[in-house]
Amino acid sequence: MGRNSYDYCIGTDNPALRRTLTAILSAAGFYSSGQAGSIPTLLRTLRTVQPWLAVIDTALPPGNIEHLASIIEDDSLAAAIYINTSGIDMDLCVQLGWPVEASVLTAVAEAVCNEFAQKKKLQKKIEELQKKLNERRDIERAKGILAKYYDLSEEEAYSLLRNSSMKNRISIAKMSGRIINDPGYFSS
């Protein structure tokens, strides 16, 4: 394995499969952070442990493995590899037939973990940009409130907002929130 070290959870009720997968992944430098023998237990484990990788037997009982796959994907719970022991064809999922060669499983595991890491970085960047956009909207809204409430120009309203945030030692975004929540903030 490369320089990254990833943890994994295994979802299977087959002890022999669990031992084999654990041996392959451990030899490749991955480390175990949990296991589950049912779909509900696996979901709880993934939500609690938050591993990089979930290796899941398509015969994991009870319930619908495709529904499990959609929950894992939609909630970004982990990178996932489905070990097809049941003959189910899972479109749009990383799926390996059983038995699988150790080198193939290792290479695929590394690839899906790296892709998952990239996805997490992009999600974080989107959240940061969304936060900045929301702050900018609040600042513009607060400027409008100040301009209307105190009959100020847009520049004067921004100057009042900026100076008030510095005086109160809070961010301009927080000051904007106060003004939005209480348009008469400065008159009290």
* Element spanning 174, H or E: helix 172-181
- Full-model pTM: 0.75
User: pLDDT tens, 30-88?
Assistant: 999 999 999 999 999 999 999 999 999 999 999 899 999 999 999 999 999 999 998 88
How many Å apart are CA 52 and CA 77, to the nearest integer? 8
How many Å apart are CA 163 and CA 172, to the nearest integer? 9
User: pLDDT tens, 75-123?
Assistant: 999 999 999 998 888 888 999 999 999 999 999 999 999 999 999 899 9
Count CB atoms within 10 A of the CB of residue 83. 25
Backbone angles phi, psi at 55, to 5 degrees: -110, 115
Q: Is 59 in a helix, a strand, or coil?
A: coil
Res. 3 pLDDT band, cuts 50 70 90: low
Give yes or no for a contact between 42 and 71, defined as CB atoms under 8 angstroms apart. Answer: no
Instruction: Enumerate residues 6+ apart whose C-beta is below 8 A from 183.
Output: 145, 149
Both tokens assigned to 2: 């490369």
Give yes or no for a contact between 66 and 74, defined as CB atoms under 8 angstroms apart. Answer: no
Q: CA separation (Å) from 186 to 3, 25, 29, 38, 147?
A: 55, 62, 60, 59, 13
- Give the pLDDT confidence score for residue 130 in this predicted structure: 96
* Element spanning 168, H or E: none
Q: Domains, the chain, ranges and CATH? A: 7-100 (3.40.50.2300), 126-182 (1.10.10.10)
Mean pLDDT of the chain: 92
- Give the pLDDT confidence score for residue 188 in this predicted structure: 55
What contacts 24+ positions apart, CB below 8 Å, involve 163-171? none
